[in-house]
Structure 1
Amino acid sequence: MPPKRKGPLQTVQRGTDYIKIQVDRLMLEVSQLKGSTESKELAEASERCARLQQSVEEAMTTLKKLTKADELAPIGNYDQKKLEEENRLKMIQEKLQALALRVSPAQKPGASKQAENPSSSHTEEEDDAEDESEEESEEDDEDDDDDEDLEKEAPDKSSETFIAVSAFKGEQEGDLSVQKGDLLSIVSKNPDGWWLVHDSKGNQGLVPKTYLKVHQEEEEEEEEEDSETEEESEEEMDEASKTKQSSQQSTWDVVRKAVLEINATDVLAAMGAIPAGFRPSTLSTLLNEGKMYRSSYYLQPELSPSQLAFKDLFWDPDTGSVLPRVSRTSLTLTLWSCRMIPTPGVGVQVLSRHVRLCVFDGAKVLSNIHTVRASYSSKSLKTWTFTPRTVGILPSLLDGDCFVRSDSQSPDLGILFELGITYIRNSTGERGDLSCGWAFLKLFDVSSVPVPYRTYELTVHGGTPYEQGVDVDPSITRRAAGSVFQQMMVSRKQPKLVVKLKSPNTATRTHLNLLPDTLVGSTCSAHLVALYRQVLADALLRDRLTMQNADLICNPVLATFPEILDQTDLLDALRSAWAEKESVLKRSEKRDGELLKALFVQAYLDTVFPLLHSASLPPPRWADEELESLRAKAIFRPTPQGSLAALLSADSGQEAFDVAQVTYDFLRPTRAAAATAS
Structure 2
Amino acid sequence: MLDPADELAPVGNYDQCKREEEKRLLTLYERLQSLALHSSQRDQESEEENSDEEDESSEDEDAEEEVQDDDDDDDDDDNADSADEDIGPTAKGQGSVTYIALSAFTGEEEGDLSIQKGEVLRVVSKNKDGWWLAQNSKGQKGLVPKTFLKVRIISQALTDKTSNWNTVRKAVTEIDATDVLSAMGAIPPGFRPSTLSRLLEEGRSYRASHFIQPKLSQSQLSFKDLHMDPDTGKSSRVGLILTLWNCRMIPPPGVGLQVLSRHIRLCAFDGTQVLSNIHTVRATYNSKSPKTWSFSPRMTGMLPCLLDGDCFLRCDSESPDLGILFELGVTYIRNSTGERGDLSCGWAFLKLFDESGAPIALRTQELTVHGGTPFEKDRYPTGVFQQMLLSRKIPKLVVKLKSVKTRSRELLNLLPDTIVGSLSTVHLLATYRQILADALLLDRITMYNADLICSSVLASFPDVLDQPDLMDAFRKSWTESESNLRRSDKRDINVLKQMFVSVYMGSVFPLLYSVEMPAPCWADEEVESQRARIIYSPSQKPSVETLLSSQCSHQAFDITQVTYDLISSAQH
TM-score normalised by L of structure 2:
0.72
Percent pairwise identity: 59
**SS of residue paired to 1:334:** strand
- Cα 1:431–1:281 change in 2 (3 A) is same
Structure of higher RCO (CA pairs closer than 8 Å, 6+ residues apart): 2
Q: Cα–Cα, structure 1 residues 198 and 445, in superposed 2: closer, same or farther, change >3 Å?
A: farther
Deviation at 1:586, TM superposition (A): 1.2
Whether the 8 Å CA contact 2:510–2:542 is kept in 1: the answer is: no
Aligned residue type for 1:443: L
Please tell me whether the aligned partners of residues 280 and 433 of structure 1 are also in contact (alpha carbons under 8 angstroms): yes
Shift of 1:175: 9.0
Matches within 5 A, 1:557-576: 557-576=457-476
- 2:555 corresponds, among 652, 655, 678, to 655
Match for 1:402: what amino acid? C
Amino acid at match of 1:449: A
- Separation in structure 1 between the aligned mates of residue 153 and residue 289 of structure 2, nearest angstrom: 59
1:464 aligns with 2:373: yes
Residue 515 to residue 644, structure 1, CA distance change in 2 (3 Å): same
Q: Distance in 2 between matches of 1:174 and 1:263?
A: 40
2:210 maps to 297
Displacement after TM superposition at 1:322 (Å): 7.9
Q: Which residue does the alignment assign to 1:378? A: 287
**Is 1:361 aligned with 2:259?**
no
Go from structure 1 to structure 2 and tell me whether the alpha carbon gap of 1:343 and 1:640 turns closer, same or farther (over 3 Å shift).
closer
SS in structure 1 opposite 2:291? strand
Q: What SS does the aligned partner of 2:427 have?
A: helix
Q: Look up the match of 1:644.
A: 544
The separation in 2 between residues aligned to 1:626 and 1:451, in whole angstroms, is 43
Once residues 534 and 33 of structure 2 are traced to their aligned partners in structure 1, the CA distance between those partners, rounded to angstroms, is: 59
Alpha carbons 1:564, 1:571 under 8 Å: kept: yes
- Residues 448, 393 of structure 1: alpha-carbon distance in 2 compared, 3 angstrom cutoff: same
| Structure 1 equivalent of residue 447 of structure 2 | 547
Q: Distance in 1 between matches of 2:357 and 2:157?
A: 54
Q: Which stretch of structure 1 is more off in the superposition, 646-655 or 597-606? A: 646-655
Amino acid at match of 2:268: V
Residue pair 1:277, 1:470 contacting (<8 A) in 2 also: no
From the CA coordinates, give the structure whose radius of gyration is larger. 2
Deviations, residues 366-403 of structure 1 (Å, cap 9, x unaligned): 00000000001011111000000111110010000000
1:615 to 515, 518, 527: 515
Residue 638 of structure 1: how far off its partner (Å): 2.3
Deviations 1:67-123 (A, max 9, x none): xxxxxxxxxxxxxxxxxxxxxxxxxxxxxxxxxxx9xxxxxxxxxxxx7899xxxxx
SS at match of 1:341: coil
Mapped partners of 1:369, 1:406: distance in 2: 13
Indicate the residue corresponding to 2:224 in structure 1: 311
Structure 2 letter corresponding to 1:430: E
Contact 1:415 1:442 in 2 (8 A): yes
d(CA) in 2 for partners of 1:432, 1:348: 10
Q: Against the structure 1 CA distance between its residues 627 and 198, is the aligned structure 2 distance closer, same or farther, given a 3 Å change threshold?
A: farther
Query: CA offset at residue 426 of structure 1?
Result: 1.1
Name the counterpart of 1:284. 197
Long gaps (5+) in structure 2: 1-27, 35-41, 51-86, 91-99, 101-117, 121-135, 140-151
> Separation in 2 of the partners of 1:116 and 1:589?
77
1:515-550: per-residue Cα shift (whole Å, max 9, x none)? Answer: 000000000001000010111111111111111111
Aligned-partner SS, 1:346: coil
**Change over 3 Å in CA distance of 1:643–1:447 after alignment to 2:** same
Q: Which residue of 2 aligns with 1:192?
A: 137
Q: Deviations over 1:475-520 (max 9, x none)?
A: xx7xx99x96x86453201100000011112221111111000000
Q: Does 1:348 align with 2:257?
A: yes
Instruction: Name the structure 1 match of 2:304.
Output: 395
3-state DSSP class of the match of 1:606? helix
Distance in 2 (alpha carbons) for counterparts of 1:264 and 1:375: 27
**What's the secondary structure of 1:432's corresponding residue?**
strand
Residue among 453, 456, 469 paired with 2:362: 453
Equivalent-residue separation in structure 1 for 2:527 and 2:472 (angstroms): 17
SS of equivalent residue, structure 2 residue 329: strand
Aligned counterpart, 1:266: 179
Amino acid in the other structure paired with 1:435: S
User: Kindly tell me: are residues 407 and 346 of structure 1, through their superposed partners in 2, closer, same or farther at Cα, counting changes over 3 Å?
Assistant: same
8 Å Cα contact 2:508/2:542 also seen in 1: no
| 2:346 corresponds to 1:437 | yes
1:328 aligns with 2:237: yes
Q: Which position in structure 2 is the counterpart of 1:503?
A: 403
Check whether the contact 2:227–2:434 (CA below 8 A) recurs between aligned residues.
no
For residue 446 of structure 1, report the CA deviation from its aligned partner: 1.1
- Stretch of structure 1 that moved more, 582-591 or 379-388: 582-591
1:423 alignment partner, SS class: strand
Aligned 8 A contact 1:313 1:322 in 2: no
Q: Give the Cα separation in 2 of the matches to 1:585 and 1:362.
A: 46
Cα deviation code 1:536-577 (max 9, x no counterpart): 111111111111111111000000001111100000000000
* Aligned-pair CA distance for 1:646: 1.4
- 2:104 alignment partner in structure 1: none
Distance in 2 separating the partners of 1:323 and 1:276: 51
| 8 Å contact from structure 2 (residues 248, 291) kept in 1 | yes
Match of 1:14 in 2: none
- 1:400–1:204 Cα change, 3 Å: closer
- Whole-angstrom distance in 1 between the partners of 2:471 and 2:344: 27
* Alpha carbons of structure 1 residues 546 and 639: separation in structure 2 relative to 1, 3 Å: farther
- How many residues end up aligned between the 2 structures? 447
Shift in alpha-carbon separation, 1:217–1:498, aligned structure 2, 3 A: closer
User: How far off its partner does 1:267 sit?
Assistant: 0.9
| Distance (Å, rounded) in 2 between the aligned partners of 1:389 and 1:275 | 31
1:193 positional shift: 6.0
Distance in 2 between the 1:508 and 1:601 partners? 22
Maintained 8 Å contact 2:534/2:540 = no
Aligned mate of 1:490, from 390, 393, 404: 390
Secondary structure of the structure 2 residue equivalent to 1:438: strand
CA distance in 1, matches of 2:571, 2:474: 26
Deviates more, 1:538-547 or 1:518-527: 538-547
- Matched residue SS, 2:290: strand
2:500 matched residue in structure 1: 600
Residue type matched to 2:525 in 1? Answer: E
Alignment of 1:154-233 (within 5 A): 192=137, 203=159, 229=172, 232-233=173-174
Change (3 A) 1:543 1:495: same
Q: Give the root-mean-square deviation of aligned CA atoms.
A: 3.6
Q: 1:353: Cα distance to partner?
A: 0.5
Q: Distance in 2 between matches of 1:117 and 1:558?
A: 59
**Are the counterparts in 2 of residues 335 and 386 from structure 1 also a CA contact under 8 Å?**
yes
Q: In the superposition, relative to structure 1, how do residues 309 and 487 fare at CA in structure 2: closer, same or farther (>3 Å)?
A: closer
1:532 to 398, 407, 432: 432
8 Å CA contact retained: 2:228, 2:434: no
Is contact 2:535–2:541 with CA below 8 Å preserved after alignment?
no
Q: Which amino acid aligns with 1:288?
A: E
Could you tell me how far apart the structure 1 residues matched to 2:214 and 2:194 are?
A: 29
Relative to the length of structure 1, the TM-score reads 0.61
Q: Tell me the equivalent position of 2:37.
A: none
In 2: Cα distance, 1:201 partner to 1:293 partner: 49
